[in-house]
Amino acid sequence: MKIKEHINEIINLIASSIIEGDYEVVQFTDHSIKIKIDETKFEIWTANGAEYLDFWNVTSMFGETFGDESTRKKIWDSLEPRIQLHRSTSLKDEKIAAIAKLQAELAELQAEVAELTK
């Protein structure tokens, strides 16, 4: 068997594992998701949806993507709910942190104004 055939077989195994939900999320970034299948970690570019879904940081080694559009769409459908949940949660956390910071600044300013108006 040629290397390209092995690579395609591995890509198909990874795709099947993701589609079946047989993976663990290791880390989210703004543009990718790191997952683990068995003991192997992969980073997948997710920023632009199914059309551009691809291995990230290893594509040059494999020279392949997740195959046809239908397979990429199925993989995206499996990953998207978790990505959206992460994005909405992290956005809420960022907003909560920003509000807390502004509230602290407001309290300081109010204390300064109260001190000046005594």
Provide the residue ranges of all domains of the chain, joining segments of one domain with +.
3-116
Tell me the average pLDDT across 7-21: 90
- How confident is the model over 92-101, as pLDDT tens digits? 888 899 999 9
- How confident is the model over 51-75, as pLDDT tens digits? 888 887 665 445 456 778 888 899 9
Helix (H, G, I), strand (E, B) or coil at 5: helix
Tell me the average pLDDT across 35-40: 87
Encoding tokens for residue 37? Answer: 């299948």
Give me the half-sphere count of Cα atoms (radius 13 Å) on the Cβ side of residue 102.
6
- What pTM did the predictor assign? 0.55
Number of residues that this document lists for the chain:
118
User: Given CA atoms 85, 87, 89, 90 in this order, what sign does their dihedral have?
Assistant: positive
Work out the burial of residue 35: count CB atoms within 10 Å of its CB; fewer than 13 is exposed, 13-18 middle, 19 or more buried: buried
Reply yes or no on whether the pLDDT at 15 is more than 70. Answer: yes
